[in-house]
Amino acid sequence: MMEDSGFENVQIGAKVDTFGGAGGEPNARKFEVYGYPFLAHKP
């Protein structure tokens, strides 16, 4: 999807637990919700 938007050199990092300690943590665990850092360049 990023490439379709015109970005190049897209790099996706390792998954990050963004819900640790939050009220919705049990649901995030149940549905395996994680955040992913990314880096891309738009010419």
pLDDT tens-place string over residues 8-23: 999 999 999 888 888 8
* pLDDT for 3: 92
Give the whole-angstrom CA distance, residue 42 versus residue 2. Answer: 10
Residue 9's Cβ-side half-sphere holds a number of Cα atoms within 13 Å equal to 5
What local confidence, expressed as pLDDT, does residue 20 receive? 83
Give the position of tokens 């990092």.
Answer: 13
Report pTM: 0.62
| pLDDT for 27 | 87
Say whether pLDDT at 33 is over 90.
no
Supply the mean pLDDT for the chain. 91
